[in-house]
């Protein structure tokens, strides 16, 4: 996972609280993604970014927002966490859209109680 | 909606055997295909990519693509216990696509 760091690695939070997950990259890649991974569902795209301040929704974006103010940082915010958002969250980066695949970060395990 | 289908397994093979993992996809426009390996509790790691029909070999791994039949496969020769992991198939719908669509993964267990 060299070049891409996610923080925190683990978090337990209460229902209704806001939560922000951070993805930081040192590869200067233009494209960044947030996925969640759940048993029985696999990896599903939440949001992605194709440049500073340029973001778009994925297939499971409800309840999530993102921001990208610098090339290296992509933040995922759960405005009001719910138990259904308990999951493992992966950030990924790519150099040229998805043509050559992604590199994933180590993941954040989020538990909403 | 684009779909990538994989047998969830577990697929058990003895050490030294060939493991064969299969994946089908629904989008005929898909152009790039990837195999990721994910160890338990870890993040997915890209191990193979394939863009044209036929076989692509890298060490003990061979990826096979058949666009007419819309399937991709991964062969692992001389399987080792360290190959025990979940293997994810992914596809990209073309050069303009931002998104990879992933299958749910096949769990492989290599028995010593």
Token pair, residue A82, equals: 């719910």
What is the rounded end-to-end Cα distance, in angstroms, of chain B? 40
Residue B94's pLDDT band (cuts 50, 70, 90)? low
Work out the angle at residue B109's Cα, subtended by the Cα atoms of residues B105 and A105, and round it to the nearest 5 degrees. 45
Q: Do B43 and A58 touch (CB under 8 A)?
A: no
Dihedral, CA of residue A89, residue A95, residue A99 and residue A104, to nearest 10 = -20
For residues B112 and A2, give the distance between their C-alpha atoms in angstroms, rounded to a whole number.
31
Read off the pLDDT of residues A20-39 as tens digits, 9 standing for 90 and up. 999 999 999 999 999 999 99
Read off the pLDDT of residues A83-108 as tens digits, 9 standing for 90 and up. 999 999 999 999 887 778 899 999 99
Q: Half-sphere exposure of residue A81, counting CA atoms within 13 Å on the CB side?
A: 20
A78 has pLDDT over 60? yes
Name, in order, each residue with C-beta under 8 angstroms of B99's C-beta and a sequence gap of 6 or more. A33, A45, A48, A58, A98, B92, B93
Residue with tokens 């029909």: B53
Chain A residues contacting B via beta carbons under 8 Å:
1, 31, 33, 40-45, 48, 50, 56, 58, 90, 97-107
pLDDT in the model for residue B95: 60
pLDDT in the model for residue A46: 97
pLDDT in the model for residue B27: 85
Read off the pLDDT of residues B15-57 as tens digits, 9 standing for 90 and up. 999 999 999 999 888 889 999 999 999 999 999 999 999 999 9
Tell me which residue in A43, A90, A99 faces B32 most closely, judged by beta carbons.
A99
pLDDT > 90 fraction of chain A, expressed in percent and rounded: 88
pLDDT in the model for residue B61: 98
pLDDT in the model for residue B28: 84
Q: Where are the beta strands (DSSP E) in A1-113?
A: 4-7, 10-13, 19-25, 31-38, 42-51, 54-57, 64-70, 73-78, 87-94, 103-104, 108-112
């Amino acid at each position: 996972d060299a070049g891409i760091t996610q923080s925190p690695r683990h978090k337990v939070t209460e229902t209704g609280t806001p939560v922000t997950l951070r993805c930081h990259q040192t590869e200067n890649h233009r494209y960044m993604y947030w996925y969640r991974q759940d048993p029985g569902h696999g990896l599903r795209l939440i949001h992605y970014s194709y440049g500073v301040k340029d973001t778009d929704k994925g297939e499971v974006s409800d309840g999530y927002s993102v921001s990208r103010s610098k090339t290296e940082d992509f933040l995922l915010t759960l405005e009001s966490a719910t138990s259904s958002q308990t999951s493992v969250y992966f950030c990924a980066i790519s150099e040229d859209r998805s043509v050559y695949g992604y590199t994933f970060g180590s993941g954040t395990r989020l538990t909403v109680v | 909606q684009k779909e990538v289908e994989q047998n969830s397994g577990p697929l058990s093979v003895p050490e030294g055997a060939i493991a064969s993992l299969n994946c089908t996809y629904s989008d005929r426009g898909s152009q790039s295909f990837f195999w990721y390996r994910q160890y338990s509790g870890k993040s997915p790691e890209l191990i193979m990519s394939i863009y044209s029909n036929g076989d692509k070999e890298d060490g003990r791994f061979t990826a096979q693509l058949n666009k007419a039949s819309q399937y991709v496969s991964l062969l692992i020769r001389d399987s080792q216990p360290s190959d025990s992991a979940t293997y994810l198939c992914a596809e990209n719908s073309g050069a303009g696509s931002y998104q990879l669509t992933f299958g749910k993964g096949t769990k492989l267990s290599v028995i010593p």
